[in-house]
Structure 1
Amino acid sequence: MRITTPFDERSTAAEVVAGVDLTGRRAVVTGGSSGIGVETARALAAAGAEVTLAVRDPEAGRRSAEDLRSSTGSKQVLVAPLDLADQRSVRAFVAAWEGPLHLLVNNAGVMRTPEQRTPEGWELQFATNHLGHFALAAGLHPALAAAGHARVVSLSSVAHLQAPVDFDDIHFRRRAYDPGTAYAQSKTATALFAVEAQRRWAGHGITVNAVHPGAILSNLTRHMDQEALDATIATGGYVFKTPEQGAATSVLAATWPQLDGVGGRYFEDCNQAHAHVDGTPGGVAAHALDPEAADRLWQASLDSLAGTV
């Protein structure tokens, strides 16, 4: 049965979390120093959660943390360094974490970057958006399992409609690099992660869902061609959300009581997405929910982290 809620594309994170008490709960928000990440963190902190901003730039994180403390009155906003494209940084974050973790919001990401590779030879967008978060969530699994009724939110994108994961050439070692295709397959991967993590971890008390936050003008769009972006805005190609609205679906997946134990799904505009129909906007593609692809991606990710591919 498709999950529907009282909220929609106009709802804000604050509206979604209103009435939810997160006192005593601990959350990590990657990329929590700007854009929808900081608004996700603001909503969680305002509801009483201890929130750790896991950020590549600790100084920017400290500025955001101070703003969040001031706006929410919470003294439980922390900052920790995390570079998702650097597996050493991911391992250091995991090693430093102590105690249970109730909410993990895999929010950080890069979009349509020029061709770049990590030291392992991984394509940067796949390495950051999927493999970094995969390693983080897997490393924090004991903390999530210890929390009881923990939730993981995996940020995908409507861009996933443009490409499945190409398992024969994930890292563009043979095919010509295309920044849009690379971004699209990385966001298909983040949706597939939710499918397989839910299957593997539901019995450990962990609920995992994927979300599309909507189109938001933020630092994420910095690699997009400005002329094309301006044309898209002018022609109404996207209805852009505010960061507060963009954070709403993540906050819903992290906190809405009726989603306890309901996972492996893809949400947009604060409701479970319909199946995508060709020629129409939005929805979720079958290739992003395919259980066989999800299982294959999980193994490929383990192999990558083990250095075997």
Structure 2
Amino acid sequence: MSARITTPFGAQSTAAEVIEGIDLTGRRVIVTGGASGIGIETARALASAGAEVTLAVRNTEAGNKVAEDLVASTGSSLIHVGALDLADQESVAAFVAGWDGPLDILVNNAGIMASPLMRTPQGWEMQFATNHFGHFALAAGLRPALRAAGGARVVSVSSSAHHRSGIVFEDIHYERRAYDPFTAYGQSKSANVLFAVEASKRWASDGITVNALMPGGIRTNLQRYVPDEELERLRVAAGASDMQWKTPEQGAATSVLVATSPLLEGIGGRYFDDCNEAERDRLSARNGVASHALDPAAAEQLWEVTTETLKLDA
């Protein structure tokens, strides 16, 4: 078994601290969900290091406002905005078709959490369709651009919520079982980790590495479907009532580390939290990675189910 990766950084580290001394001049980056929450701070840190950053967002008006703020705060003019609705495969295909040239870093950051039961026009459960299918199709579509960059990285933003559920292959889309918003979210977050496991294996010959991470507990628009009192109840139930929320700058740190750290050169298929590789099956409210999310057989099965569902050759 390969050695666990540890870094000088931790739960309180910020994205700016993690990226200090790293030069991304000439590198091209996409951050999905880059117009809110930790997406903004992820983009800010990467832009501050010289990267050309594209914010891939549903609301381009909000994206343009964020881009203006990032230009002002970083001094970089290399910040763009692209329309992307991950729940809509046609939108994903259009974004991919509009991309030209190499891509060094793809940060799959956007997501939907604990929503009421909603379905896409295809009948797919919305959290799985957005968090997994959308990002899978995006990464697969951009694979030639990632290959062209040489040594490209894909960052898959997961969550400790993956502890709640592996992939229930018999009924992924809750057609026969009772729907639970948090279990559905957990399933989609396990899918984000399993994607990293299998993509790193299948795309290794392209020089592409993929790693997953838990950003930490951060109050953002992600929790828009979860009332404050429910969030607090869950924290207490998980034994985490004394835990502090991270700031968005701290929440973006692990994404930025996975995207840029020299310690991860050529390394993929792993899961990080608090800026270090997570410990397997030592699970707490916000830390640790469950074995079901790193299971190579599940990763391969999910890949096959996904490519068949989306009719993709990946």
Query: What TM-score do you get using the length of structure 2 for normalisation?
Result: 0.95
Query: In structure 2, how many angstroms separate the alpha carbons of the residues matched to 1:53 and 1:22?
Result: 17
Alpha-carbon shift at residue 233 of structure 1 (Å): 6.0
Q: Sort the Cα spacing of 1:278 and 1:209 in 2 relative to 1 into closer, same or farther, 3 A.
A: closer
Query: In structure 1, how many angstroms separate the alpha carbons of the residues matched to 2:230 and 2:286?
Result: 18
- Secondary structure of 1:44's counterpart equals helix
Q: How does 1:55-74 map to 2 (within 5 A)?
A: 55-74=57-76
Could you tell me which residue of structure 2 aligns to residue 146 of structure 1?
148
Q: Is the CA contact (8 Å cut-off) linking 2:217 and 2:286 kept in structure 1?
A: no
Could you tell me which residue of structure 2 aligns to residue 130 of structure 1?
132
**Paired letter, 2:109:** N
Q: Deviations over 1:201-231 (max 9, x none)?
A: 1111111100100010000011113222244
Q: Deviations over 1:233-271 (max 9, x none)?
A: 687254310000000000000000121101100000000
Query: In structure 1, how many angstroms separate the alpha carbons of the residues matched to 2:235 and 2:199?
Result: 36
Structure 2 residue 267 is matched with structure 1 residue 265: no
- Secondary structure of 1:263's counterpart equals coil
Q: Which residue of 5, 22, 25 maps to 1:20?
A: 22
Gaps of 5+ in 2: none
Q: Deviations over 1:101-157 (max 9, x none)?
A: 000000000000000000111000000000000000000000000000100000110
Q: Is the CA contact (8 Å cut-off) linking 2:216 and 2:286 kept in structure 1?
A: no
Could you tell me which residue of structure 2 aligns to residue 275 of structure 1?
280
Query: In structure 2, how many angstroms separate the alpha carbons of the residues matched to 1:191 and 1:278?
Result: 15
Q: Which residue of 43, 47, 64 maps to 2:45?
A: 43
Q: Is the CA contact (8 Å cut-off) linking 1:209 and 1:253 kept in structure 2?
A: yes
Could you tell me which residue of structure 2 aligns to residue 77 of structure 1?
79
- Secondary structure of 1:79's counterpart equals strand
The number of residues matched between the two structures is 307
Alpha-carbon shift at residue 303 of structure 1 (Å): 1.0
Q: Is the CA contact (8 Å cut-off) linking 1:232 and 1:238 kept in structure 2?
A: no
**Paired letter, 2:258:** A
Could you tell me which residue of structure 1 aligns to residue 182 of structure 2?
180
Query: In structure 2, how many angstroms separate the alpha carbons of the residues matched to 1:141 and 1:218?
Result: 30
Q: Deviations over 1:79-120 (max 9, x none)?
A: 000000000000000000000000000000000000000011
Could you tell me which residue of structure 2 aligns to residue 54 of structure 1?
56
- Secondary structure of 1:168's counterpart equals helix
Q: What's the % identity of the aligned pairs?
A: 64
**Paired letter, 2:13:** S
- Secondary structure of 1:183's counterpart equals helix
> More displaced, 275-284 or 72-81?
275-284
- Secondary structure of 1:127's counterpart equals helix
- The Cα RMSD (Å) is 1.4
Q: How does 1:81-100 map to 2 (within 5 A)?
A: 81-100=83-102
Structure 2 residue 220 is matched with structure 1 residue 218: yes
Alpha-carbon shift at residue 278 of structure 1 (Å): 5.7
Alpha-carbon shift at residue 276 of structure 1 (Å): 2.1
Q: Deviations over 1:48-101 (max 9, x none)?
A: 000000000000000000000000000000000000000000000000000000
Query: What TM-score do you get using the length of structure 1 for normalisation?
Result: 0.97
